[in-house]
Chains A and B, each alone.
Chain A
Amino acid sequence: MKAVVFALRSFGRELRSGEVLVLLAAVALAVSALTAVGFLTDRIGKAVARQANEVLAADLRLRSQERVPDEWRDLAHDYELDTAETMSFPSVVFSGDESALATIKVVSNEYPLRGSVRVSDTLFGEQRTADDIPAPGEVWADGALLARVGADVGDTLAIGELDLTVSAVLTYRPDQSIGFASLAPSVMLNIDDISRSGLIGEGSRVAYALLVAGDERAVADFNEAIQDQLPESVRVRSQEDSSERAYNAADRAQRFLSLTAVISLLLSAVAVAMSARRFAHRRMDTVALMKSLGATQGFVISVSFVQLILLGVLGIAAGSVIGFAAEEALSRILIDLMQQADLPKTGLRPIFLASTSALILLLGFALPSIIQLRNTPPLRVLRHDVMPPAPSHLFVGGLALAAVAALLYRSVGDVRMLVILIGGIIVIGGLLYLVGRGMVALLGRARSGVGVAWRYGLANVARRGRDSAVQVVAFGLGITVLLLLTLVRTDLLEGWRQTLDDDAPNHFLINIQPHELDSVASLFEASNIDRPTFTPMVRARMTTINGESVKDREYPNEDGKWLANREANLSWAASMSPSNELIEGEWWPLDYAGPPLVSIEEESATNAGLKIGDHLNFFVAGKEVEAEIASTRKVNWDSFQPNFFIVLSPGALDGMPATYISSLRIPEAKKPMLIGLVRAHPSVSVIDLGAILEQVRGIIEKASLAVQAVFLFTLAAGIAVLFAAVQSTIDERRFESAMLRALGARRRTVFLGVMAEFAALGTAAGILASAGASVLAYLVATRLFELPYEFSPVIWLAGVSAGVLIVCLSGYFAARGAVNARPADVLRSVGN
């Protein structure tokens, strides 16, 4: 109690004197960085997710074979959510004598809840965003459909018993990639017309959907509430299980955001740890004095602890305010950049998280220093060189790691990422420390061959052995994570850029008969479009795996079971598609003519429990085909190339009824040639990927922007934090430089000496950081983001220059003060 009162009283005095300001600043900086990054990642994450939800045209989609009962819609309204209804089914559409199969999309007034529909007023004309849905009696139809039946805007289409006027060309609807398999071009009409169409009744294959959207929490609550009560026939879809590509982009962006959160956390840890060391070091004399005046160990530790907590609380308060303000400013800019009306709001959670994080960091990283203080020998009042025994590495490391793990687990939530990061930190931290000590020793030896300034600087590095090594580790870790962030960001953006490549295919042609191949190809050539590559496709069913029926077999998971039991599309190829990557086994030789071999997509192989050497039997057009698994492949679905889960060796499917598919790029200006193609080959379906691509592009562009913005901010915050860390090492240098100047050294010499020391530390840290970041980035890129990763020498350059630059620059500002101080003042103040 006495200690608490004393601590409170003297805390005010310490604050006034500025003694504790550096640690206070470090805590405040950590909290503001964590708060701002927390807010930003939260809000941007939500914005990206919302964008991804466009693929559903809603946040949640309840699908059913029958009309979704009204009670679910009412329930959604109870949760203050918006709803819309849709139906879709295949039907033949007539225009005069011409007819074509179409996907009929029936929508209610509120559709779509997320994203927007786009139309144009003429075939292949300029697009605009539609504010509403087709009026009753009207229809919006896909351009390909209109071309096929020879109709245009203003004409009438007959659908069931309805005669509807085409009032616009439908160019884009957000949920068109759902039910991708149906493939037929769509027409959209008003739900009010549907009862008169005569199309809805016994035996019709209508997919009903209730769309739901609104506040994120409310959606989640609603989803939770309906989970157990929904009838079998109703299935719920949310963003996670929607379109693979859009989701991938959003998901990776989210991961990147949480990576930045983690990294700002680690940087903060570095700053807090460094400043806490300084805090403890500066208190050592006072503690020795208090002990000589009769303070007990318990008293010393209680006082320090209470003050540490007070400091934390103050730092947190200041940091929250700064972080909040910074985030407000940043999000304004982002709203502009991302062309969002607003970023989704978040609660005060980030402040809470940042605050508790800072407290945990403070305890995890400052406690060892504080506990060490307790052991300050009172003899220090007479012999200034006696120091408390250093706390054990195990204790310091263990406590720090425990703190970091606790924090990371909460903010990452992803165990795999956590393991990679913690493992990486332990290994890199340990290596940094060992190598740091080695370098410090080496540098010390190198001093005989250099000028006086360098000799002084290098001698200092060596003399401060353990301290220097600790600094190298701290700076090294800080730079490591900043480099890591840079690398991952580059990889991520590069991967996305490739997806968005202007040469990426924007159309699929399917259902091309073998005898049509030449004629289709010549049509393209006539329009000066490169001859497309045709990929064969055969419908088949898997019957047995290693002789066991696919129905009776046990599978590692449901996806695997589904894969083995469904009707599959098989293909064959002599060489592997460039969008595939061999994972295991071997691809057959180009001229292979032996017994059938098969290559399986890696993930499905895992899901279905298939491995190299397994025998698969397929039932194809009345015949059995047996093939042995020769390899597994990874498929880059982002490539928009035709890809198959199951690919056989050439010859295995000879004589089977095959159709061909192809993907190709058709420039916007040449699109009208498709009208001729569809007319000449009515059975060939043309799928315009343009809209889907655009959708993916929209998500990726926003995600990229978000990633860039958060990256820049984190980088800035990180550098600021490292700056603070350098400041915390300056005290001793102040005294030494004063002494040297008192001995007659010129200011310039002393200054150069201090800079030499920083340059040495910075180089050491930079080299270590480059090595660490290379390994970590490799792990993060390949394991977390599933991106290819290439080691690049540029990192080394960047790491070392960043190390030297950051440490020297912050050292420069710190050293300037130290060197400029009047020696007499400094030397006098030591006695106090």
Chain B
Amino acid sequence: MSDHSLSGTQVLEAHGLSKQVSSPEGTLTILSDVSFKISAGESVAVVGPSGAGKSTLLALLAGLDLPTAGHVVLNGSNLSSLDEDGRAQLRAENVGFVFQSFHLVPSLNALENVMLPLELAGQSNARSAALEIIRKVGLEERWSHYPAQLSGGEKQRVAIARAFATEPAVLFADEPTGNLDSRTGANIMKLMFELNRSSSTTLVLVTHDQSLAERCDRILSLDVGLLVSDERVAE
């Protein structure tokens, strides 16, 4: 495997990542010795069959969980050297998420959901900033609606707005279209790539959709916990 990150600074580095969990049947290896580097502004797809360890890898990269071996460097900080609060702080400043199952807070309306990370980061103009981005995702008519009143596609738009609201350095998306029909999914991805380009965010996209993956700059393939290929997509 060659190093593709020729240009720009490294925003995300995985060094020999392994993850094992103990189960009733003994120790289970979910990831073994995965290494790569991602530079600023790159969009990277992580592909592989279900159960390959994609979500696990994403969790480790974002510091939601810690590896059994190896370490992650996110925007210059070694995640393993930080405690949980330190990692949370780092996420607040650098990371955005879009999940397969949306994860909107049911008690908050669309606007408030988008405001959430801004408020967590202590931004004073949370409301106007959130309104601005809500407009960008085309939901200005529906900002006051609660998640239960929104369709899947609309929920994911809110989630995308929320993810981009803090202008994160890295955006993690775990099968963002997995719960959507193909047309809605296509629209969502279009929106995501647009926002990604305009804000020059680094994108890490987990998907098992090959055509989606090919719209990224680079594809990492996982199989049973091993990184089996790392390829640049021909323009």
Contacts and interface: CB of A to CB of B under 8 A. Distances in A.
Interface string B97-112: 1010111111111001
A217 interface: no
Interface stretch (B1-9, B35-43, B69-77, B81-89): B81-89
B113 to A, nearest CB: 9
B85 A832 contact: no
Interface in A290-339: 290-299
Given A13-B112, A293-B97, A381 B88 contact: no
A296 B85 contact: yes
B181 to A, nearest CB: 14
B103 A381 contact: yes
Closest 7 CB pairs of A and B: A294-B92, A17-B107, A831-B101, A296-B85, A294-B91, A19-B107, A293-B117
A286 interface: yes
B97 A292 contact: yes
Interface of A: 2, 6, 9-10, 13-14, 16-17, 19, 285-286, 289-299, 377-379, 381-383, 825, 828-832
Contact of B84 (A13, A297, A829): A297
Contact of A2 (B84, B122, B146): B122
Given A382-B55, A832-B155, A293 B120 contact: yes
B129 interface: no
A832 B88 contact: no
Q: Tell me which of A298, A382, A829 has the highest count of chain B C-beta atoms within 10 A of its own C-beta.
A: A382
B214 interface: no
Contacts of B174: 382
21 contacts: A13-B109, A13-B112, A17-B106, A19-B106, A293-B91, A293-B117, A294-B93, A294-B121, A295-B120, A378-B65, A381-B64, A381-B97, A382-B58, A382-B59, A383-B59, A829-B106, A831-B101, A832-B104, A832-B105, A832-B147, A832-B155
A6 B119 CA distance: 7
Contacts of B47: none
A832 B59 contact: no
Contact of B116 (A14, A293, A296, A825): A293
A383 B101 CA distance: 11
B106 A382 contact: no
Interface in B33-60: 55, 58-59
Contacts of B106: 17, 19, 829, 832
A383 B88 contact: no
A514 B72 CA distance: 108
Contacts of B58: 382
A17 B174 CA distance: 28
A290 B120 contact: yes
B115 to A, nearest CB: 9
B86 to A, nearest CB: 9
A829 B117 contact: no
Contacts of A383: 55, 59
B102 A294 contact: no
Contacts of B91: 292-294
A829 B116 contact: no
B146 A294 contact: no
Interface residues of B, number: 41
Contacts of B109: 13
A299 B106 CA distance: 20
B62 interface: yes
A795 to B, nearest CB: 43
B18 to A, nearest CB: 16
Contacts of B116: 290, 293
A139 to B, nearest CB: 81
Nearest to B54: A382
A832 B55 CA distance: 19
Given A17-B107, A830-B101, A299 B120 contact: yes
B149 to A, nearest CB: 11
Nearest to B91: A294
B146 to A, nearest CB: 7
B95 interface: yes
Nearest to B86: A296
B46 to A, nearest CB: 13
A8 to B, nearest CB: 11
A6 B105 CA distance: 15
A811 B58 CA distance: 41
Contacts of B84: 296-297, 378
A381 B120 contact: no
Given A286-B105, A832-B106, A298 B147 contact: no
A801 B107 CA distance: 39
A294 B107 contact: no
A285 B147 CA distance: 14
Nearest to B117: A293
A16 B105 CA distance: 13
Q: Residue among A6, A19, A294, A295 with the most chain B CB within 10 A?
A: A294
Contacts of A382: 55, 58-59, 64, 99, 174
A49 to B, nearest CB: 50
A6 B55 contact: no
A78 B175 CA distance: 84
A383 B162 CA distance: 20
A295 B105 CA distance: 14
Contacts of B117: 293-294
Given A6-B120, A832-B105, 18 more contacts: A2-B122, A10-B108, A13-B108, A17-B106, A19-B107, A286-B105, A286-B107, A291-B88, A292-B91, A293-B116, A293-B120, A296-B84, A378-B88, A379-B59, A382-B59, A382-B99, A831-B101, A831-B102
A379 B65 contact: yes
A556 to B, nearest CB: 63
Contacts of B107: 10, 13-14, 16-17, 19, 286
A702 B215 CA distance: 85
Contacts of A17: 106-108, 146
A286 to B, nearest CB: 5
A294 B103 contact: no
Given A2-B122, A13-B112, A17-B146, A294 B65 contact: no
Contacts of A9: 119
The interface centre, meaning the residue of B119, B155, B162 with most chain A CB atoms within 10 A of its CB, is B119
B102 to A, nearest CB: 5
Nearest to A300: B88
A57 B122 CA distance: 71
A809 to B, nearest CB: 29
B92 A832 contact: no
Contacts of A825: 148
Interface centre among A14, A17, A297, A383 (most CB of B within 10 A): A17
B61 to A, nearest CB: 11
